[in-house]
Structure 1
């Protein structure tokens, strides 16, 4: 999930005593649970933030205290994992964020892949931590344009995954406020979005052609992965910065196992693979290529 733990918005942090206060044992359990299932480290300095954020979940579930919430996680962890991840994190994304990645796709990678695969190959890109969908739909735009430009009939698809139920719902809806369209050129707005009317006034809806190219699915990066690959490229941007070193190392090796030989891994602008994996070589700004034996 492309998310970050934020320190603003601590409403509810000064909860009263008793069940509405996050005690030592409950916080210790939550910290361990979030680390094991989400890879995020929650230090003691995050306790008030976590308390304030999770009070909303307690109210939504009609629970009487954090001990009840902890018991829910103990007995049925999968049912609440996505909501927990959403509660303690904030999805940060935009269309065509880190434009140099898309430039590389448009100018070099997509033309090469489409030529190499023109006789029956498959082209697969994975947006790992797709958040509310801006990244996979931006990828779909450049992919659709490349397919149109070349007249290619290559079987091309984009897999978009995230842990957050709210983020996935927004991605599937594919409807965005007009003010969120700042990273998109006017030509692409006209080509790939439909302006909402009536109840959808002030919104833009992604074109059906983009929806055809994108498959949106729930996935926890730390759990088992049902897909077999191989992928030509994986976008995992602004995700691993919140993981510790062992979690990053395991994740990078799993990515390497799903990438084509010479496939590409794209990280966020503040992320690096330095000293974490021998399976990749740096070939551009936060762009890594799987090493060929």
Structure 2
């Protein structure tokens, strides 16, 4: 079933979906079957072969990753209480804290990190320069992230103080304030693009913190390996990598590159790791 769809999408439309995990691809196709009211997979393949719009929709659906503010509370607690303060202490006043959110989707993860940094600097009464480079392959997700507007159900995990400090309510929407946005740049970037080692805006990488949550498990193992290698190469020698909980076992395989920081899916780069 999946091979037929992969072949059809590639041969007719020039889109490569072979990199995705088979079970993930199967679920995505079954969902599209339901939406398009095609009776079975064979009918959907036929429908797909004669409908370029559907091929585009299927392809885009594979690249939109669900995200939330402070999605993993334990991970963000570790960030707030330990990792971010430590990274800030190690930075001189002349150097900025550099963070890469790879697969940022619609921006909730990025703004969550920015809120933590602002809260820490305010509490400690210090000033620290920081920059978050947020990338994704989905143009529609990036558009939503840049806009920074969220509804009532989106902001449920945000503390009341943070909501008051960093958002402006406009009608039924909550807009991220410029105080956070000025530290974030959003751009299109494909982690599987072999032509570059890191996002163009970062110039040379050297990220203190890389966040790649709930994305790796959508891909086949050989692609996961290439993505993790690119992430490690982009990191400072003392950098940290954060993934989703479901991806801990994927990154744990790279024990020669990372030290696990339990119990959250946090990994510290080993000195000299390449």
> Would the TM-score normalized by the shorter structure come out above 0.5?
yes
CA distance in 2, matches of 1:94, 1:148: 24
**Alignment CA distance shift 1:247-1:95 (3 Å):** same
Name the residue aligned to 2:80. Answer: 106
Structure 1, unaligned runs of 5 or more: 1-21, 56-63, 74-79
Structure with more relative contact order (C-alpha pairs < 8 Å, separation 6 or more) = 1
CA displacement 1:177-217 (0-9 Å, x = unmatched): 12211101111111111111xxxx11111111010111111
| Number of equivalences | 250
Matches within 5 A, 1:1-293: 27-30=6-9, 33-36=16-19, 39-41=20-22, 47-50=29-32, 66-67=48-49, 85-88=59-62, 90-196=64-170, 201-223=171-193, 224=196, 225=198, 226=200, 227=202, 228-272=204-248, 273-284=251-262, 285-293=264-272
Q: Does the residue aligned with 2:98 lie in a helix, a strand or coil? A: strand
Q: Cα distance, 1:65 vs. partner?
A: 6.4
Contact 2:6 2:16 in 1 (8 A): no
RMSD value over aligned CA atoms? Answer: 3.0
Contact 2:241-2:268 at 8 Å conserved across structures:
yes
Query: What SS is found at the alignment partner of 1:292?
Result: coil
Superposed displacement of residue 96, structure 1? 0.7
Provide the C-alpha distance between the structure 2 equivalents of 1:46 and 1:194, rounded to a whole number of angstroms: 35
Task: Pick which of 146-155 and 113-122 moved more.
Answer: 146-155
**Corresponding residue SS for 1:194:** strand
CA distance in structure 2 between the partners assigned to 1:46 and 1:133 by the alignment: 22
Find the aligned partners of 2:181 and 2:26 in 1 and give their Cα distance: 42
* Gaps in structure 2 of 5+ consecutive residues: 38-45
1:107-130 per-residue CA deviation (whole Å, 9 max, x = no partner) reads 122222222213312211111111
Instruction: Report if aligned partners of 1:130, 1:160 keep a CA contact under 8 Å in 2.
Output: yes
**TM-score of the two chains, using structure 1 as the length reference:** 0.75
